[in-house]
Structure 1
Amino acid sequence: MTVRFEDLSISSEILQAISDMGFEEASPIQALAIPRILAGSDVIGQAQTGTGKTAAFGIPALEKIDPKDRGVQALILCPTRELAIQVAEEISSLAAHKKGLNVLPVYGGQPIERQIRALVRGVQIVVGTPGRIIDHLERRTLDLSNIKISVLDEADEMLDMGFREDIEQILEKTPEFCQTVVFSATMPKPIVEMANRFLNDPEHLAVTQKQVTVPSIEQHYYELRPHQKLEALCRIIDANNLGRVIIFCSTKRGVDDLTTHLLGRGFSADALHGNLTQTQRERVMQRFRNGSMDILVATDVAARGLDVDDVEAVINYDIPNDVEDYVHRIGRTGRAGKSGRSFTFVTAREFYKLRDIMKYTKAKIIQSQVPTLQDVAGIKTAKLMEEVSLTLATGKLDRQSALVQTLLVDEYTSLDVAAALLHLLILRDSPVAASKESEFDDFAPDRNKKRERSDRDRGDRGDRGDRGDRGRDRGDRGRSDRGSFRDRERKDSDSRFSRPRDGGDRFERGEGRSFRDKNESRPERSGDRFAKGGREGFSNDRGGERHEPEAGMTRLFLNVGHKMRIGPRDIVGAIAGETGLPGKIIGAIDIRDSFSFVEVPSEHADNVISVMSGNQIRGYRIAADRANLKG
């Protein structure tokens, strides 16, 4: 049944703002959640990305705010700075007609002094990342004693990133009368445990779909060799006449390289990844939103929380390792009832990933063939001829006719001139026009090697680890002790080390907070120095002897240690977040009083040294170098 916003007991000011934003009908999660949150109930809402969750909690939160009170009355926690900014912007738009109401996003990467000044001036709604909220609480620049509602947005993402202890510490600071709302795409056990502790008789709301992905998204895949990806990408963009596109790569370097290649071929593109400053990130997103740039090339972590309308297509240049990442990626197109398309590139060795995705999403992903140059040229020419016909129909070509007349000499007719102009336009309009068909005339997979591919697929599965273990890891995400922040810092000094699933933007520069892995504080593992999957390389005891690094690993020296309150999660988070390396490949860590050692794969050692040198962990400037193995 269709529910209109007018039917949800919403104030006229917010209804006007909703109308200004172009919305009339509430989404299913909005229709379920808004009345219950307005009534004061604690709520657990389960809905996928792109279903209107922000308005589902943002509208009731705004209705509870007293604009005359300049104190903080609502707190919204988000996993990433990008999502915090997006949520703050949307809530500000919803509050456009409510005078005296201020919304402040707080996150790492932005000078904290600026945020403190805004808090002193007075804001009613704070939207922030857990790490930066903790910083403000420790500085006593944020007072939660009078907040009326707290919201956890994308709670499963926050727990997956190791923020459970931070979230619990924050919720402990809220008053007894505070209403608590949790939104999450999935409901792992840690969320249920946290809800039982902090929510009061919550109502469970779920918007379920038979298909995990959005039905309005037309999904295609292309089986390619790695060296064919760039050419295939350009042809697909041209042949489909794609406008606003998001392309996903697995690494920051991959993002930069692909962006450079696209610019070189005449496409309007820019990069978005964790190495950009906040100012640079905001500039890139502004260009993408206002249409001055058509193609956004991004990593998964950098793109989390992005909410951009009218994305025509998502292209998985690198197929994601996690099926849930696939869902999040393509969920950025086909929104608000509009159709969308996704294109995924897969190599023979990655075919098992595609099968996992299709099994998980229960959606049909169509195998397609890369357009030939003739296909692209034909499509571009047809589009150009259509534009020419429209231009002729409008008339007003006197000036242009005069210019053509100057070219009409004895040997050239008007037909010759028109043909020459079309030739130039077609060449200039097609970035792939200079490609050599002979170099890419074998896009179709070699069916004679089908058996070989299947054998490789089975072999690759063995490298991925036991799926049962992976499932248990997911179920235990965020499991942690419930001690105070200071207690947890003391526990960090034990240097028990476990790895996150990936690093990404979990480390917020200057903020000095990263994450605790899902396994780090399991009681039954309290005696282990390294959690499951860790590599025992040397003693973690201060002053303990050093051993040779594991084969294929290089030991690095960092000039930070226990005295700076540095823990293993800080080091892993910093390296993973700044270099793009998966946290799971970082090796043993040895933390001393004033310095530390960390093992990284030898092929990445120079890059880690280069990226980390001059960077910061917990506000301390890092000097990184190869360790002296003789000491």
Structure 2
Amino acid sequence: MGLSPEIQQAVEELGFQAPTPIQEKTIPFLLENNTDIVALAQTGTGKTAAFGLPILQQISPENKHTQALILSPTRELALQIANDLSNFSKFSKNITTVVVYGGADIRGQMKQLDKGASIVVGTPGRTLDLIKRKKLHVNEIKWLVLDEADEMLSMGFKDDLDSILETSPKEKQTLLFSATMPKEIVGIAKRYMTDPFEISVGKKNTGAENVEHHYYVINAKNRYIALKRVADVNPNIYGIIFCRTRAETKDVADKLMQDGYNADALHGDLSQAQRDHVMSRFRSKHLQMLVATDVAARGLDVNDLTHVINYNLPDDPEVYIHRSGRTGRAGKKGVSVTLIHLREKGKLNQVEKKVNKKFVKKQVPSGKEICEKQLFSLIDKMENIEVNETEIAQFMPVIYKKLAWLEREELIKRFVSLEFNRFLQYYENAPDINVDESRSGGGDFEFDDRGRRGRRQERSRGNERPGKRRKGYEFSRMFFTLGKKSGVNKRTIIDMVNQYMPGKSVEIGDIEVMKNFSFFEVDKRYEKQLLKAFSKATYKGQRVGIDIAKGK
């Protein structure tokens, strides 16, 4: 690929043998061209080496100015990129990398910059702060990398990115890496890049190739029970469970821990030290399951995840793409599991089209299936356990004597039962919690393929028209601060009410979506709760709010 002996030596020492598809396409191009590029690739495909190796090779060690600026959405990802670059440049002389991010002492970062940095890796907010303080000088950079650009935009960094891009020299080479291609990314490319060359290792805005997509249809009240059964039928599960809110994340993690699972939560209420502790335990596989919100999980990069579980289906299909892309990395297979109820079937169809893959409906496993899977997993572990002969030798004579009265078959049965009995007891008479989609009943709302809300057929009343008021409800008319211009539709408002009012069956009446704002009707009994629940609501990085509508 034309890499220098120093970089080649570092790469070989790290154990890399063959380039990933994005590396194969990007590295030779960047070594031979100064053209801007837009590279579309899922997370975990080796993007850091794709842009890092050619930049390191072309850095001028004698030049004391900052020559490359790499922006990433989170502290964790910035640290990871900086660590990778340090490993890649292990045998290259006089190349220094400095990482800057919020939540850490800015004075220490300024001292590091004063000593000189060939490459600066940073989060947008702290990077812009240091530029304004005239501690980070970007007037001579040759490369500007936007890594996970779609994530940076969804986290609300657009203004910071605009300011940084406007400050940097026009003649630099801009490299934009993104898993999806929303219109905001297209806008950045048009405004700040010159005729960019597009490199893609997959279709735009589609899911990762090595991921299977499964879904289970259940009643909302059985969501946690279904989660446990999915975990139990996969004894070696190592995955992330995504929840909508901090409160739900804490609740699910607490329940899992109380039920004896190696699980913990990752959410915005944790201090940085607590967050680092949880992430360290998860990376070292001391935790099997991590329960997290989308925001909290950003920057968490783990290659060996077997499962991603969507405790709730996200509102935005692109969020699902990011979630599912966290498994099935480095050539390994992964499974993305989604728990839905009947009302979300139409919404699932929208996600399926976006991902461009067929989702497979699965039956929530029965107690018998789980017990069988756990039993054979236990036998596999027993077969493959490594015996420490030296340490165990002194105890064996007593153990042999104590168990001498047992026949071989009886001994095996007892060892197996020691672990197996708890699953037998727990799942004895466990009910079937799968929902029969052929039955209508219950009068719940469902959505068609376009996300339109309707009422399922009821035996006594026939079909009602979408949006028709139900008798016995007094409605309040609410003002909503976003409209069509922000990508909001009727479906968005329904989903947000469900998201911010979990566990509540809130009746919604007429919905009107205008260009810059919206109106919707809601059961008057929930008026105050709704106002409180939406006090810190966000949609695609924008703060939103609702209020009681004045007048007609």
Smaller-chain TM-score bracket? 0.7 to 0.9
Quick one: distance in 1 between partners of 2:188 and 2:277? 37
Quick one: distance in 2 between partners of 1:474 and 1:581? 9
Quick one: distance in 2 between partners of 1:77 and 1:32? 21
How far did residue 328 of structure 1 move? 0.9
* 1:529-553 Cα distance to aligned partner (Å, 9 max, x none): x9823789xxxxxxxxxxxxx9537
Asked if the contact 2:343–2:445 (Cα under 8 Å) also holds between the matched residues in 1, the reply is no
Asked if the contact 1:82–1:303 (Cα under 8 Å) also holds between the matched residues in 2, the reply is no
Equivalent in the alignment of 1:532: 516
* 1:49-75 Cα distance to aligned partner (Å, 9 max, x none): 333222221122212223444432211
Equivalent in the alignment of 2:290: 296
Asked if the contact 2:537–2:544 (Cα under 8 Å) also holds between the matched residues in 1, the reply is no
Equivalent in the alignment of 1:435: 426
| 2:543 is the alignment partner of 1:552 | no
Within the candidate set 83, 99, 108, 2:102 is matched to 108
For residues 447-526 of structure 1, what are the structure 2 equivalents within 5 Å? Answer: 447=437, 449-450=439-440, 456-458=446-448, 461-462=451-452, 473=486
| Residues 448, 101 of structure 1: alpha-carbon distance in 2 compared, 3 angstrom cutoff | same
Asked if the contact 2:22–2:45 (Cα under 8 Å) also holds between the matched residues in 1, the reply is yes
Quick one: distance in 2 between partners of 1:47 and 1:447? 36
Equivalent in the alignment of 1:587: 546
SS state of the match for residue 219, structure 1? strand
Asked if the contact 1:116–1:141 (Cα under 8 Å) also holds between the matched residues in 2, the reply is yes
Equivalent in the alignment of 1:9: 2
Quick one: distance in 2 between partners of 1:63 and 1:314? 37
Equivalent in the alignment of 2:477: none
Asked if the contact 2:483–2:518 (Cα under 8 Å) also holds between the matched residues in 1, the reply is no
Amino acid corresponding to residue 235 of structure 2 in structure 1: N
Quick one: distance in 2 between partners of 1:33 and 1:390? 42
Asked if the contact 2:349–2:449 (Cα under 8 Å) also holds between the matched residues in 1, the reply is no
Equivalent in the alignment of 1:610: none
Equivalent in the alignment of 1:5: none
Quick one: distance in 2 between partners of 1:391 and 1:116? 51
Asked if the contact 1:84–1:127 (Cα under 8 Å) also holds between the matched residues in 2, the reply is yes
Within the candidate set 222, 227, 233, 1:228 is matched to 222
Within the candidate set 152, 163, 175, 1:158 is matched to 152
- TM score, norm. by length of structure 1: 0.69
Quick one: distance in 1 between partners of 2:182 and 2:403? 75
Amino acid corresponding to residue 106 of structure 1 in structure 2: V
| Residues 406, 152 of structure 1: alpha-carbon distance in 2 compared, 3 angstrom cutoff | same
Asked if the contact 2:73–2:148 (Cα under 8 Å) also holds between the matched residues in 1, the reply is yes
Question: How many residue pairs align between the two structures?
Answer: 493
Amino acid corresponding to residue 310 of structure 1 in structure 2: D
Gaps of 5+ in 2: 455-465, 468-481, 497-513, 521-525
How far did residue 451 of structure 1 move? 6.6
| Residues 551, 389 of structure 1: alpha-carbon distance in 2 compared, 3 angstrom cutoff | closer
Asked if the contact 2:235–2:377 (Cα under 8 Å) also holds between the matched residues in 1, the reply is no
For residues 310-321 of structure 1, what are the structure 2 equivalents within 5 Å? Answer: 310-321=304-315
| Residues 198, 382 of structure 1: alpha-carbon distance in 2 compared, 3 angstrom cutoff | closer
SS state of the match for residue 446, structure 2? helix
Asked if the contact 2:345–2:446 (Cα under 8 Å) also holds between the matched residues in 1, the reply is no
| Residues 213, 204 of structure 1: alpha-carbon distance in 2 compared, 3 angstrom cutoff | closer
For residues 244-255 of structure 1, what are the structure 2 equivalents within 5 Å? Answer: 244-255=238-249
Asked if the contact 1:534–1:587 (Cα under 8 Å) also holds between the matched residues in 2, the reply is no
Equivalent in the alignment of 1:22: 15
SS state of the match for residue 357, structure 2? coil
How far did residue 239 of structure 1 move? 1.9
SS state of the match for residue 70, structure 2? strand
How far did residue 350 of structure 1 move? 1.9
* 1:333-367 Cα distance to aligned partner (Å, 9 max, x none): 11121111122111122222211111222212211
Quick one: distance in 1 between partners of 2:541 and 2:150? 19
- TM score, norm. by length of structure 2: 0.78
| 2:203 is the alignment partner of 1:213 | no
How far did residue 460 of structure 1 move? 10
SS state of the match for residue 117, structure 2? coil
Within the candidate set 356, 361, 365, 1:367 is matched to 361
Amino acid corresponding to residue 447 of structure 2 in structure 1: D
How far did residue 409 of structure 1 move? 8.3
| Residues 264, 372 of structure 1: alpha-carbon distance in 2 compared, 3 angstrom cutoff | same
Quick one: distance in 1 between partners of 2:380 and 2:185? 55
| 2:164 is the alignment partner of 1:180 | no
Equivalent in the alignment of 1:402: 397
SS state of the match for residue 212, structure 2? strand
| 2:132 is the alignment partner of 1:141 | no
Amino acid corresponding to residue 80 of structure 1 in structure 2: T
SS state of the match for residue 10, structure 2? helix
| Residues 448, 149 of structure 1: alpha-carbon distance in 2 compared, 3 angstrom cutoff | closer
Gaps of 5+ in 1: 1-7, 476-498, 503-529, 537-549, 557-570, 589-598, 600-631
How far did residue 27 of structure 1 move? 2.6
Quick one: distance in 2 between partners of 1:97 and 1:356? 49
Amino acid corresponding to residue 45 of structure 2 in structure 1: T
For residues 277-426 of structure 1, what are the structure 2 equivalents within 5 Å? Answer: 277-389=271-383, 401-407=396-402, 416-426=410-420
How far did residue 414 of structure 1 move? 6.2
Quick one: distance in 1 between partners of 2:335 and 2:416? 31
For residues 569-608 of structure 1, what are the structure 2 equivalents within 5 Å? Answer: 575=536, 585-587=544-546
Asked if the contact 2:350–2:450 (Cα under 8 Å) also holds between the matched residues in 1, the reply is no
SS state of the match for residue 309, structure 2? strand
SS state of the match for residue 546, structure 2? coil
* 1:144-187 Cα distance to aligned partner (Å, 9 max, x none): 12222111122233334443332222122223442222223344
Quick one: distance in 2 between partners of 1:169 and 1:247? 35
| Residues 205, 247 of structure 1: alpha-carbon distance in 2 compared, 3 angstrom cutoff | same
Equivalent in the alignment of 2:26: 33
| 2:76 is the alignment partner of 1:82 | yes
Asked if the contact 2:344–2:447 (Cα under 8 Å) also holds between the matched residues in 1, the reply is yes
| Residues 318, 555 of structure 1: alpha-carbon distance in 2 compared, 3 angstrom cutoff | closer
Quick one: distance in 2 between partners of 1:164 and 1:392? 53
Asked if the contact 1:109–1:277 (Cα under 8 Å) also holds between the matched residues in 2, the reply is no
* 1:94-119 Cα distance to aligned partner (Å, 9 max, x none): 22332443322222222222222222
Quick one: distance in 1 between partners of 2:84 and 2:315? 31
How far did residue 221 of structure 1 move? 1.0
How far did residue 380 of structure 1 move? 2.0
How far did residue 448 of structure 1 move? 5.5
Amino acid corresponding to residue 250 of structure 1 in structure 2: R
* 1:230-256 Cα distance to aligned partner (Å, 9 max, x none): 232223223222242111111111111
Amino acid corresponding to residue 431 of structure 2 in structure 1: D
Amino acid corresponding to residue 199 of structure 2 in structure 1: L
* 1:165-210 Cα distance to aligned partner (Å, 9 max, x none): 3222212222344222222334444444433443334323333339
Asked if the contact 2:205–2:321 (Cα under 8 Å) also holds between the matched residues in 1, the reply is no
| Residues 337, 118 of structure 1: alpha-carbon distance in 2 compared, 3 angstrom cutoff | same
Quick one: distance in 1 between partners of 2:529 and 2:258? 36
Aligned-pair identity in percent equals 37
